[in-house]
Amino acid sequence: MLNQDKVPRKFGGQKSLSELCGKFLNIIYNMVDFERFTEGEIPYEKLARFGLTREMIDDLPSVIQQRLLASRETPVLPIITVNQEGEKIKSEARISLVRLPDNSVDVALSPRWETYDLTAFTENQQRQLLGGKVIIADVDGKGECYVQFDDAIQQVMSVPVGVIKQNISLIERNFNVSGKQSDDIGKGKIIQLADERGNITSLGIDLQAITGLRAADGDALNWQREAKADQLPEYSFGMYGCWKADDNGNLSYIYDKDFTPEIEAEMRRVGQQHAAGQNMRQMHV
């Protein structure tokens, strides 16, 4: 039976439960001492070495730009490297910004490997990871960690259990989540909550999320679908072109001169939708 939570008054009662959970998770994130960068510190020249032009970076969806400036990784992006023979090699990787001891900013890559990095786990654990489950395991003798398989780059991610459980406890205290529900989240399960109007929000561990927890509108199946899509629309339009997301949330860039009739139609639709939204806000609807 779903928990009929009451929305905490300090967060306001007019937003959806998933919006409130998301806002609270952002509050937790802003309390964490991550390295932060300004837009002026983005190393465009270094990114260009990997085929990522300034136009491509400036056209990234705002949520991805914010993630990059907060020293988090982007979704998988197309990159180009040059081998010893001077040949250009196309591949894919997540990128993040790092600050060096001399205070300069450089680029770190998490490449998309062609082989799985699962050999340290039992066959049963491997099956769970490949099935999209979050498990608890001892990784390289570091003690209990939450472990998740990143299908996009074919690598294993891990975070100490204590870090995520602290964030779970904050959610429990602020959203009337029961002890059993907290335990279920801690076991890697996705829980479903319902507000006073019967709207369902799902909450679970996602190591790709900044706080290690992610909320989504709808049931657990929708939560899993959003994890696959990286919460990005198929097309994100910018000043010079657009980023196109595939079913796994991997991004590819298309310059405006290469737009197909399908993309141009989608751009018009998005523009009309945006204009309609602005008109409604101006009318205070």
What are the per-10-residue average pLDDT scores of the chain (285 residues)? 35 58 63 76 94 96 89 88 78 87 86 67 93 87 84 81 82 83 93 85 86 86 74 87 86 96 94 72 49
pLDDT at 152: 74
Q: How far apart are CA 264 and CA 61, in angstroms?
A: 18
Kindly report the pTM of this predicted structure.
0.59
Cα 57 to Cα 16, 34, 194, 252, 257: the distances in Å are: 32, 21, 38, 12, 17
Please provide the distance, in angstroms rounded to a whole number, between the alpha carbons at the two ends of the chain. Answer: 35
Cβ proximity of 235 and 244 under 8 Å:
yes
The whole-angstrom separation of Cα 71 and Cα 217 is 27
DSSP states of 195-227: -TT--EEEEEE-TTSTTSEEEEES-HHHHHHHH
206 Cβ neighbours under 8 A, 6+ residues apart: 134, 148, 212, 213, 214, 227
| pLDDT at residue 9, rounded to an integer | 34
Measure the CA dihedral 184/22/98/96, to 10°: 90
pLDDT value, residue 16: 66
Tokens 């523009």 identify what position?
271
Q: What is the pLDDT of residue 3?
A: 34
Distance of CA 19 to the CA centre of its chain: 15
Q: How far apart are CA 98 and CA 73, in angstroms?
A: 11
Closest CA to 8 of 146, 172, 167: 172
